[in-house]
Structure 1
Amino acid sequence: MPHIITAAPLGQLAALDVHQLYKLRVDVFVHEQRCPYAEIDATDADPQTVHLLAWDADTHELLGTARVFPAAPTDAALADAANGAQIGRFALAPAARGTGLGRELFQAAVDLGERMHPGQPLYLEAQAGLVDYYASFGFTPVGELFDDEGVPHQPMLRPAP
């Protein structure tokens, strides 16, 4: 499936692109994963947050998304991550799963995080069932599992390159 990955802060996205971004995230996190919470948050609109969007090159349908922003770990044990970038809200449309697009999009998020905060670790809060997936990108579990809206999450760090 031919695709294009773009990256921009929310304020630079077209209104209909923002609509597709939020629709995909609500479809995946709220409906599919049955996690009813306020999907839109202040991090989305922060000018330092960059949204990666994977588009079908032919139909301009949004296939996947992630966001990269200054890390804000809440656990004091993760203070070293506070100078790095955090990756979050990584989601793929069902049609894009199993195609390799997820790995490409997530690697683009890692690369962006390293460019945004060179020489610093990357941080993410992985759904517990995806720890091995993120480990394949060099992330390691740190700290304790925590509950986020009924879904167990594991803090993970990727050391600075």
Structure 2
Amino acid sequence: MNLSFTCKHFDELSLKELYDSMVLRQEIFVVEQNCAFLDADGKDQVAYHCFGYDTDGQLHAYTRLLDKGIAYPEYASIGRVVTSAASRGGGWGRKLMEYSIEQLYATFGQQAIKIGAQAYLEKFYGSLGFVQCGEGYLEDGIPHIPMLKN
């Protein structure tokens, strides 16, 4: 499988891209992870959205980029990090995050990035330069840790 990455502001999204991102987010965060939460949190409209589509037009990877002051008062953020079940194990999560970090810097400038990582992914995010920067917490019943990349 080969994925092609793009990044667009909310106002530039096609209806297909918006729909695909909502389906993938719900498929993984709500159904697979069994979390009932309001995914449409009002931040999508001010975000940039990164997509990883295969050659058949199927979305396999997605993130949402937020400027400083939206998710965290002093930091930009990458959130809603998700890969489809079909694409896991192929290194696409790493490629997605590398692309997302690059796009965040290109869009908002070189700066620190804060994320709320699922705790079991600490080593993965650590390999990308993120370090834990606070106490762990539960979000929707899933252990998370705050992480920062300077």
Q: Paired residue for 2:67?
A: 70
| 4+ runs deviating over 4 angstroms | none
Counterpart among 52, 55, 63 of residue 54 in structure 1: 52
Q: Paired residue for 1:129?
A: 120
Contact map agreement 1:85 1:116 (CA 8 A) in 2: no
Shift of 1:118: 2.7
Q: Paired residue for 1:96?
A: 87
Q: 2-side partners of 1:16 and 1:128: how far apart?
A: 32
Q: Paired residue for 2:143?
A: 152
Instruction: Read off the aligned partner of 1:6 and give its amino acid letter.
Output: T
Pick which of 5-14 and 129-138 moved more: 5-14
Q: 2-side partners of 1:134 and 1:86: how far apart?
A: 13
Instruction: Read off the aligned partner of 1:25 and give its amino acid letter.
Output: R
Instruction: Read off the aligned partner of 1:61 and give its amino acid letter.
Output: Q
Q: 1-side partners of 2:80 and 2:37: how far apart?
A: 13
Q: 1-side partners of 2:107 and 2:15: how far apart?
A: 25
- Unpaired segments of 5 or more residues in structure 1? none
Query: Equivalent residue of 2:109, what SS?
Result: coil
Q: 1-side partners of 2:134 and 2:17: how far apart?
A: 36
Shift of 1:146: 1.5
Contact map agreement 1:69 1:85 (CA 8 A) in 2: yes
Instruction: Read off the aligned partner of 2:64 and give its amino acid letter.
Output: R
CA RMSD of aligned residues (A): 1.4
Counterpart among 130, 134, 141 of residue 143 in structure 1: 134
Shift of 1:16: 1.7
- Unpaired segments of 5 or more residues in structure 2? none
Alignment of 1:96-115 (within 5 A): 96-115=87-106
Instruction: Read off the aligned partner of 2:38 and give its amino acid letter.
Output: A
Q: How many residues align?
A: 149
- Shift in CA distance, 138/113, structure 1 to aligned 2, threshold 3 Å: same
Q: Using structure 1 for the length normalisation, give the TM-score.
A: 0.87
Q: Using structure 2 for the length normalisation, give the TM-score.
A: 0.93
- Shift in CA distance, 55/154, structure 1 to aligned 2, threshold 3 Å: same
Shift of 1:73: 5.5
Instruction: Read off the aligned partner of 1:66 and give its amino acid letter.
Output: T
Contact map agreement 1:86 1:124 (CA 8 A) in 2: yes
Instruction: Read off the aligned partner of 1:70 and give its amino acid letter.
Output: D
